[in-house]
Amino acid sequence: MQSSTRRQLEEMEQMGGSTFVDELIELFFSESDMRFTKLEGALTRGDLVEAGQIFHQLKGSAASTGTGRLYRICLVGETASEKGDDALARRAGRLGAKELVFLKTSLKEWRRGAPS
């Protein structure tokens, strides 16, 4: 996990407590999982308008939780969708889904106190 993400979550924990951060993380992952499922469907159908909207939503969630790599991936996907670049949008979708899996693992380790 990026140190900036860890730092932002630690600051949120200081302000709102560990329960708040746990709920925030759970909400982020449940919404992100749902959005990546919808994104996969949109990309499979070749619906770049919908894909762009979903990338935009994911980008906002990533920004609010400080997950910079996911934010940048979603920005690329959103831009590719707007420009009609189906291949790049699909690559961004695959990479974003992988990044989400990495984040889940990293955040679980962080919550257990292990280095990530």
Q: In the prediction, which pLDDT does 38 show?
A: 97
pLDDT tens digits for range 84-115: 999 999 999 999 999 999 988 887 776 677 44
- Is residue 110 within 8 A of residue 1, CB to CB? The reply is yes
What are the domain boundaries of the chain?
A: 3-110
Shortest CA distance to 103 belongs to which of 56, 55, 61? 61
- Give the three-state DSSP class for 19: helix
pLDDT tens digits for range 39-53: 999 999 999 999 999
CATH number for the segment(s) 3-110: 1.20.120.160
Asked whether the whole model's pTM tops 0.85, one would answer no
